C-alpha cells in the first residue's frame, strides 16, 4: 500500500521530482518554498506521487545539489528550508534529530531524554519512523541502546550505508 502523507491545501501547489542516489531512487516533495518530503522509493514504504503534483526538477535543484555533495562526502550539514507536517511531539523529535551531528549516533532513549520525555523511547521510535524527510533529518543516526542497528524505513542496509558514509568508511 503506498502512502501520501501530504494533504494538499487548496491554494498550495505541490511539486515533486525523483532523483537517483547511492541509496536508490528518492522522491522529493515540496511547495517551491520548502521541502516537505524526501522518500526512499526502493524502501519498504515508498511514497506515492499524487497525480495533482507538478513535476519540477528545477524547484529542487538546490536540494539535489546538496544531496549530491552529501553522498560524495563533501557535505556534513544541510541548508534546506523544511515544512514537516506532524504532531507537536513528532516535530520535537524531528527538530532534535537535526542536532545529532554528522558521523554521530544516538539511542532512542537518549533522544527521548533530549526532548524532555525520558520515558518516551518507544514513542520517539514511532516518531522517528514517521520522519517525512529522510537523510536530511537524520533518522538513520538513531540506533538501539546496545549499539545495534534497529528499524529503518529504508531498510537496515541503507541505514548501514548512510552511517558508513558518515564514518568515512
Q: Which residues contact residue 11 at a Cβ distance below 8 angstroms, ignoring those fewer than 6 apart?
A: none
Q: Which residues are marked as active site?
A: 139
- What was the pLDDT predicted at 148? 81
pLDDT by residue (tens digit) across 100-137? 999 999 999 999 999 999 999 999 999 999 999 999 99
Q: Is the pTM of this model over 0.85?
A: yes
Residue 5: name the closest of 132, 126, 138, 140 by CA: 132
The highest-level CATH class for domain 88-167 is: mainly alpha
pLDDT by residue (tens digit) across 10-25? 457 899 999 999 999 9
Amino acid at each position: 500500500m503506498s502512502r501520501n502523507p501530504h494533504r494538499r491545501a487548496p491554494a498550495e501547489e505541490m511539486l515533486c521530482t525523483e532523483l537517483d542516489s547511492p541509496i536508490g531512487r528518492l522522491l522529493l516533495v515540496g511547495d517551491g518554498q520548502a521541502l516537505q518530503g524526501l522518500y526512499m522509493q526502493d524502501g519498504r514504504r515508498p511514497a506515492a506521487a499524487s497525480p495533482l503534483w507538478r513535476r519540477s526538477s528545477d524547484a529542487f535543484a538546490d536540494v539535489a545539489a546538496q544531496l549530491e555533495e552529501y553522498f560524495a562526502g563533501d557535505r556534513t550539514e544541510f541548508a534546506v528550508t523544511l515544512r514537516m507536517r506532524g504532531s507537536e511531539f513528532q516535530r520535537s523529535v524531528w527538530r532534535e534529530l537535526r542536532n545529532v551531528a554528522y558521523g554521530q549516533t544516538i539511542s532512542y532513549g537518549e533522544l527521548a531524554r533530549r526532548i524532555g520525555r525520558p520515558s518516551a523511547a518507544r514513542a520517539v521510535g514511532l516518531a522517528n519512523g514517521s520522519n517525512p524527510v529522510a537523510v536530511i533529518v537524520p533518522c538513520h543516526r538513531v540506533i538501539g541502546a546496545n549499539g545495534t542497528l534497529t528499524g529503518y524505513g529504508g531498510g537496515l542496509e541503507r541505514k548501514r550505508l548512510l552511517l558508513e558514509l558518515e564514518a568515512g568508511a
